[in-house]
Structure 1
Amino acid sequence: MKVFGFYKSKKYLQRVMFSIMATMVIVLVSSSITNTYILEKSVKNIQEQSNLKVLSQIQYNLSYMNDIITRLSNFVYRDHFLIPLMFNDDLPKMDLIRGHRQMSNIMESSSFLHSMVIYNKSQSKLYGTSSSLLLDGGITDQRIRSMLLDPKQPQPTNRLIPMSLEQNDGLIDTFAFIVTDSLKPFTKNNSAIILFIKSDWVFDSLQKMNVASDRDQGLIYIQTQNGKLLSSDPSAPFTASQDQAKVNELVLAHKINESHSAGFFIGKLSGKKEMVTYMEDGLGTWTILYIQSYDKLMGEVNQTRNQSLLLSALFLLLAIGLSVGLSYKLYNPIENMLKRIRPHLQSEKQSASGVSDELLLMSDNYMRLSEKLSEISSEQIVSKYYIRRFLSDSQLFSDHDMQHLIEKHDLNISVKDELLVCVLKIDHFAAYDNSITGASKKLYNFAIINIAQEIIREHYLCEAVEIRGDHVVLILSCSDKGTTLSFQQVVRQLREIQQMIEHYYHISLSCGISDIISQYSYLSTAYTQALRFSQYMIVKGFKAIITSDDIQENLGSKQMSLPDSIEKKLTEALKKGQLTNAGNELEKAFSLISTFQYDDMIRAVSNLGWVIKNASSEINDNRIVPFSVDLDYIHQISQEKETLEEMYLSLLSLCAKICENQRPANMERNEMMLETVKELIEQKFPDINLSQQSIAMSVKLSSAYIGKLFKENYNMSITEYINEVRLGHAQSLLEQNNYTITEIMDKCGYANQSYFFRLFKGKVGSTPKEYRMKKSIS
């Protein structure tokens, strides 16, 4: 009951739970119904295709049987022993005997023949082979005449005609096949040969197809033109006259609708649903039917449907359980919010039961809180406004006015004690500004202000305000606890603020602390001083906390620019490509710059950039092939880099690029000459006379000079390099196994075999023959 009461009291939870539950139920039921429908449709389609294949085979069998009988009938009709029986008016006894004997021979040669009768129109007499025709006192004769020789009902020729020749109960026991000399329907005015085909021969084909197809759930029928159903099973259903009429009606209706000789439909026969597949026999006489019980055929489908419904029911139970669990999980944040809100509510506790749902309750309280927050926010906006005015224009306020505003807006500023201003400036501000969105910046500034106030207020009164987005200003004053402002205590607290902000938000802060002031009117001056001190982070580095004592040397410096000698030596070093000297001069320059005042530092770094750029331009003007160094960035270094160390490294990197590209012209010429020497050796190594002297003559230089230059650059003599090239080609030729060693020596420029062997073994460690053998084995 407690659980039920819990859910009953949670109106929004009820809506969520019932919505999820209804959705799951609808999806599961729809899925189950759709799957069952698709399965039933698939089974019907498969069954239809299968049935039509079977009927196609039966149709082929009937056509083949008809073809066999037609060939036999043509042969029999032309038999000269049987012609007298058909056409003679006065039949001699010997012709009668020969005719009966020939009919007996034909009967013996054809196993599917039941009997054979010849009708002579002149005599109006039937001659047959069966004993019943001869001995039953004319009963069979009369039955044949009444069924086949009725002038009111002419019979088709060359077609199987179902008959009850020996049965009195109307069952089909034979098929008559009439052969005449005319294509017109047969009457007693035409002589004819009548072949009676055993019914088993026809029906056995149907029965075998049914058994071969494993179709014990249905029966195959032959439907005649008058709608009569013929079956191999004497006790087959649907043979009653009303059933035959119904089947005939359904088949004709479906043929008319589909305009096709074969088809498939489901209809009611004898009060039950039956699946009927039909196909014409191809001769225009019969229709082959395959009738199956719909319930038996769909037994597996129904079983599958029942299993699906059972599984759906199980899944529904599981879905209900999941719906409850999922709903409560989704509702859990709302429940947690309500737990936090309710202890702070008063009137809501009594009226909560009358609220339509929890969200409305939260919405009402949100509106009330919003009104309260707007009041608080308005007061905070006004307070922040006056704090900013104090910092920017404190000299415009009298002490009386400032005290009045401080008391009126309840600012945490002492009205009788000393004051101190701290500036917390965000390091790497350009990267921070580009990577953080506006909403996130507000959040970070809010966090910095709150954390700073929480830490500072442990010892001092503190008001904080964000200015220009890149720094936060703190106004510190003594509290009523009798404390005094101490730089040492303030630095410890600022260090704690830096560490906490960096730990939680990965934001680095540099701090500037003003001197202690005793009057409100000096607040603007103190703020300007603290902001200026924070700029000396350029010397002290990131996360520095700077007071006037820390930069006393800078504040007292009178030097405003670098000595000309440093700039001159830097220019000379760059022009000579001497990176070490250029780096030394840069280091001297920045050592001096670090003692300047802030504005002079920026100006001096900018001037250094101009010196480097001008030196690079002069170097390029005097070169045949100018080098490419991007110097446009040099003017932005003093604005984009925040510390002297970063500026120094950026300028040193530019100097390195200039020196790397500023090599002496004779060095370029020497490299070109040495490359030419190496190309000559690669081209002429087969020449036995190739030597250092011949190469020197080719390049128009002395042998000693070219040899010394080659040795200095490649740590080997020209002769050693020639042998390296020759032996390398010799190794390649030995691996090919196409040349003798003498031919290889000749191709590689060696005339002395022992000299070649000694050099080769010194390089490879084996003789040429051993080398070739090892390579061939491997």
Structure 2
Amino acid sequence: MKAYGYFTSKKYFKRVLFSIMLTMALILTGLSATNTYLLERSVKHVQEDANLKVLTQTQYNLSYMNEIIVHLSSFAYRDNALIPLMFSNNLPKMDYIRGYQQMYNMLESSSFLHSMAVYNATTGELYGSSSDFLVDGGTTKSSILEWLLHSSSGSLPTSRLIPFSLHNSSNIDSFAFIVTDTYNSFTPSQSAVILFIKPDWVFESLNKLNGVSSGNSGEILIRTADGQLFNNGHSEQTMPLDQEAIGRLIQEPDGKTGGTNGSGFVIGNSGGNKVMITYLHGIGDWTILYMQPYKEIMQAVSDMRTRNYALTGAFILLSIGISIWLSYKLYGPIEAMLKRILPHMRNNGPDSRTRNELDVMSDVYEQLSGQLQEISSEQIVRKYYVRKFLTDNRSLSELDMQQLIGKHELKLIPTGPFTVCTLRIDRYDDYDRRTSPAMKKLHRFAVTNIAMEVMARSFHCEIIDMQEDHFTLILSGSMEADAIKRAIADVQQVLERYYDLSLTCGIGEAAPQLSQLSASYYQSYQLSQYSILMGYKAIIEMQDIRTNLENKQKSLPDDVEKKLSEALKKGKLTDSGSELERAFDLLSKMQLEDMQRAIADMAWLIKNAAADITNNRITHLSVDIERIPLLPRDYYTLDELHLAFLSLCTAICEEAKPSSMERNEMIIETVKELIWQKYSDFNLSQQSIASTVKLSSAYVGKLFKDSCGLTITEYLNDVRLRKAQELLLKEDSTITEIMEKVGYGNQSYFFRLFKSKFGSTPKEFRIKKSIS
């Protein structure tokens, strides 16, 4: 009762642990019992297979011996020395001696013959080869004659092995084999030769095969058709033989019978003992049985069961001890937590200490939930006023805003100055499509807390989630611009490392008063949108885009758009690439709104040019014309847009070129232009150039060689070396720096090419030019 009371005590988590432990104990016990049962079945099947193999070998031995005896008996029955013993009324002495000598010779020549006897039906005399006939006063002779002439089983069969016992017991003294001039049963009116075979020849072969002679207490038996059981006369009988019980076992219809070979395997009782019997039909109507004590066979299983139960009990006791120890160890923090919680509970009455932990924690949760709601309400109010400061502060005076900062404990210095920073998520449309709502919520929480933690180390600040694609920081007090940029860079680095978030930051100009926060916020947000120009994760200040803001150009010049359209329609890739380069150079200097509008106009220009090409040709372009105006929506920086437009123009020009000759010239000019534009790229090669123009390397190489008389690699080296020569004359950079600027990474290779072309090394060339 005490154990049950402890189990149902307030320590709920301990009860869980104990329940798991008890369940595991029951499972272990069940597994142990199941394992023992399966092991016992396995031992039975293995023992059955082994016994059947042994009995099959014995059957073979008996069959083999029977064949030998048949041949030997036929020879003996027709032997001239034995015929007088069988049929002479008055046996001459010499015939008597010759007959005995011949029987002796036969016994010597056969290892399995025990003795021989010749029966003369005329005289009723029995002549035997055994010395027992001579020295035991005729006892053996009388026993054999009695068995031969007055057998209890009736007539004796001929030409068949017959178990024979001198003392009418279950022990077999030998196997008798009677030979007459017919195959009918023996009658006293027939002379016969009787061969007596040693029983050991059968039983010992079985003993050696199955290890019976090595300590196994199994018993080998032969059962005749009349139900009599015989065993080896020289073996010690270890089990009582119950002939009726054994007969019933091997004849039961529901026993485990062997099928076509007449074999079987049964377990039952014989003489009050549980035995396992394996049987197999042998020669004629015999049945060979191998009887074993079931207890001894299953001794190993019993030992295994005892060991399993002992081990299971030991493990259960060990698990109980460990579970109790673990329960106290694991329950320690919960108990300590309860000790800290209980004194602070509002309803800390006597019943609170008798309830389980979950009830106590539920009460604590309800109390904390109420407090959190109060805190959350305060947080909502704080966020409301911070957002109002940024987006709509016209209804608040400077003094009202300063009082709100003090009332709601905002982490801002009311007297300023104030700097507003906007953190904007890069590639927001793509981010919004691929990110789940739960992950977005996590990211917003992470950005708000990480930014606040990092910035609060150095500044008085507040951060607000403005929803959609950006967050806004308000920094107050005197501060250096470089310090702000370093802190913002730390925030960007942490968010990219742990959350794979890329943010661009716009830093507005300092606002001396709270009433100017709104203008500073809109300025910082506009600056963050200039990531289209400055790239991802940029930190953008007003000075970085001042040139753009001062630029009054609203659109691309008409001649740029016209030349681009004509180049596309004529399939001139070089001209269209040049015009694109010029267009994007102009775009990079425009204001944001003008830049976006001009990009959209250029997309429509390219679409219209592609449509004109399609209308003037039988075949259509493979380019999806309808998607061209949507191209600016898929890319977020000028560099990305430039590459996308260049790829689009390349595809259009490739299909719009007028002839193969002009096409070849276009490819060659494109290769040259790529080499002049990218000669400083270490990875620039014939393969990369071919990949850029979307042709095979071998085709581009052959086309260039046929047209220019030198390979692409030779032309590339020529451009790089001439550029290196120019830099050696104009710049004070080291030779290694110049080598890297023109695209060489291996100094020895660069020196070898330079000397081969100009007759001197770069160093010697620079010295000669400086002297001259």
The two structures have a TM-score, normalised by structure 2, of: 0.66
The residue that corresponds to 1:445 in the other structure is: 444
Give distance in 1, aligned partners of 2:664 and 2:584: 38
Consecutive unaligned residues in structure 1, runs of 5 or more:
1-6, 672-708, 717-778
Supply the distance in 2 between the matched residues of 1:443 and 1:135 (Cα, whole angstroms): 113
Does the CA-based 8 Å contact 1:451-1:497 persist in structure 2? no
Aligned residue for 2:529?
535
Instruction: Look up the match of 2:280.
Output: 279
In structure 2, what is the equivalent of residue 567 of structure 1? 561
Cα distance per residue 1:52-99 (max 9 Å; x no partner): 233223333334444555556667778899999989xxx854x78798
* Aligned equivalents of 1:339, 1:71: Cα separation in 2: 99
Which of 504, 507, 513 is the aligned partner of 1:509? 504
Matches for 1:313-712 after TM superposition, within 5 Å: 338=337, 354=353, 361-381=360-380, 384=383, 397=395, 406=404, 410=408, 412=410, 422-453=421-452, 464-474=463-473, 492-493=483-484, 496-504=487-495, 505=499, 506-511=501-506, 513=508, 516=511, 527-543=521-537, 554-555=548-549, 558-572=552-566, 574=568, 582=576, 585-618=579-612, 628-629=622-623, 632-655=626-649, 665=659, 667-668=661-662, 712=707
What 5-or-longer segments of structure 2 have no aligned partner? 1-6, 108-112, 666-703, 712-772
Q: Do the aligned partners of 2:567 and 2:575 also contact (CA within 8 Å) in 1? A: yes
Find the aligned partners of 1:628 and 1:309 in 2 and give their Cα distance: 79
Aligned pair partner of 1:107 in 103, 109, 123: 103
Q: Deviations over 1:128-175 (max 9, x none)?
A: 45798799888667645654444985233214444454x699965455
Q: Give 2:58's aligned amino acid.
A: I
**Residue-pair matches, total:** 653
SS of aligned partner of 1:369: helix
Query: What residue is the counterpart of 2:695 in the other structure?
Result: none
CA–CA distance in 1 between the matches of 2:585 and 2:336? 59
CA offset digits 1:85-140 (Å, max 9, x no partner): 989xxx854x787986786466345423735353648x8x4554579879988866
CA contact (8 A) 2:81 2:102 kept: no
Residues 171 and 554 of structure 1: is their aligned pair in 2 closer, same or farther, counting only changes over 3 Å? closer
Q: Are 1:100 and 1:129, in contact at CA under 8 Å, matched by a contact in 2? A: no
Aligned to 1:237: 237
Q: Determine if contact 1:427/1:510 at 8 Å carries over to the other structure.
A: no
RMSD: 5.6
Q: Which amino acid aligns with 2:410?
A: N
Distance 1:607 1:414, change over 3 A: same
Aligned to 1:258: 257
Are 2:52 and 1:52 aligned?
Answer: yes
Do the aligned residues in 2 keep the contact of 1:203 with 1:231 (CA within 8 Å)? no
**1:319-365 CA deviation, whole Å, 9 max, x = no partner?**
77987898899889x76995998599556999899366655554543
Percent identity of the aligned residues? Answer: 40
SS in 1 for 2:641: helix
In the superposition, relative to structure 1, how do residues 595 and 138 fare at CA in structure 2: closer, same or farther (>3 Å)?
A: closer
Paired residue for 2:196? Answer: 198
Counterpart of 1:602 in structure 2: which amino acid? Q
Q: Is the 8 A contact 1:509 1:543 kept in 2?
A: yes
18-27 vs 207-216, which deviates more?
18-27
Separation in 2, partners of 1:360, 1:559: 72
Closer/same/farther in 2, CA of residues 630 and 345 from structure 1, 3 Å limit: farther
| Structure 1 residues 543 and 49, CA gap change in structure 2 (3 angstroms) | closer
Instruction: Judge conservation of contact 1:173–1:198 (CA < 8 Å) in 2.
Output: no
Q: Deviations over 1:206-225 (max 9, x none)?
A: 22442355432234233344
CA distance in 1, matches of 2:164, 2:625: 115
CA change 1:654–1:246 in 2 (3 A) is closer
665 and 321 in structure 1: CA distance in 2 versus 1, 3 angstrom threshold: farther
Secondary structure of the equivalent of 2:54? helix
| Corresponding residue for residue 729 of structure 2 | none
Distance 1:173 1:454, change over 3 A: closer
Q: Which amino acid aligns with 2:277?
A: V
Distance 1:603 1:438 in 2: 32
Which amino acid in structure 2 is aligned with residue 202 of structure 1?
P
**Distance (Å, rounded) in 1 between the aligned partners of 2:132 and 2:486:** 131
Greater alpha carbon shift after TM alignment, 407-416 vs 61-70:
407-416
Distance 1:599 1:714 in 2: 49
The Cα offsets for residues 168-214 of structure 1, whole Å up to 9 and x where unpaired, read as 99965455545567777656xx5123544435x23333224423554
Confirm or deny: 8 A CA contact 2:423 2:503 kept in the other structure. no
- AA matched with 1:107: M
2:288 counterpart SS class: strand
Larger Rg: 1
Q: CA deviation at 1:470?
A: 0.5
CA distance in structure 2 between the partners assigned to 1:666 and 1:274 by the alignment = 100
Structure 1 residues 411 and 519, CA, compared in 2 at 3 Å: closer, same or farther? same
Distance 1:415 1:168 in 2: 125
Q: 1:210 aligns with which of 201, 207, 213?
A: 207
- Report the TM-score when normalising by structure 1: 0.65
Where 1:192 maps in the other structure, the secondary structure is coil
What residue in structure 2 maps to residue 291 of structure 1?
Answer: 291
Specify the SS of the correspondent of 2:471. Answer: strand
CA distance in structure 2 between the aligned counterparts of 1:715 and 1:656, rounded to whole angstroms: 25
The superposition leaves residues 748-771 of structure 1 with CA deviations (integer Å, 9 ceiling, x where unpaired) of: xxxxxxxxxxxxxxxxxxxxxxxx
User: For residues 73 and 544 of structure 1, do their structure 2 counterparts lie closer, same or farther at Cα, with a shift above 3 Å needed?
Assistant: closer
Residue 444 of structure 1, CA deviation: 2.4
Which residue number corresponds to residue 118 of structure 1? 119
Preserved contact between residue 426 and residue 536 of structure 2 (Cα < 8 Å): yes
Give the distance between the partners of 2:211 and 2:185, measured in 1 at CA: 40
Aligned to 1:156: 156
The one-letter amino acid paired with 2:221 is: Y
After superposition, the C-alpha distances for 1:24-76 in whole angstroms (9 at most, x for unaligned) are 65666556555555555444433332322332233333344445555566677
Query: Is the 2:576–2:649 contact (alpha carbons within 8 Å) kept by the matching residues of 1?
Result: yes
Distance in structure 1 (CA, Å) of the matches to 2:661 and 2:331: 79
Residues 228, 669 of structure 1: alpha-carbon distance in 2 compared, 3 angstrom cutoff: closer
| Corresponding letter in the other structure for 1:513 | G
More off after superposition, 147-156 vs 601-610: 147-156
Distance 1:573 1:410 in 2: 64
Work out the CA distance in 2 between the residues paired with 1:80 and 1:712.
119
CA distance 1:306–1:238, change in 2 (3 Å): closer
Distance 1:151 1:289, change over 3 A: closer
In the alignment, the residues of structure 1 paired with residue 421 and residue 644 of structure 2 have an alpha-carbon distance, to the nearest angstrom, of 31
Contact persistence 1:116–1:193 (CA under 8 A): no
CA distance in 1, matches of 2:456, 2:132: 133
Offset of 1:604 from its aligned partner?
Answer: 1.6
In 2, distance between residues paired with 1:136 and 1:666? Answer: 129
Q: Helix, strand or coil: the match of 2:199?
A: helix
Question: How far apart in 2 are the matches of 1:541 and 1:343?
Answer: 56
Query: Residues 157 and 186 of structure 1 are in contact (CA less than 8 Å); yes or no, is this contact kept in structure 2?
Result: yes
Letter in 2 for 1:287: T
How far apart are 1:283 and its partner, in Å? 0.9
Please list the CA deviations of residues 352-388 of structure 1 after superposition, one character each: whole Å capped at 9, or x if unmatched: 9936665555454334323322333344345545655
Cα displacement (A) at 1:646: 3.9
1:447 deviation in Å?
A: 3.1
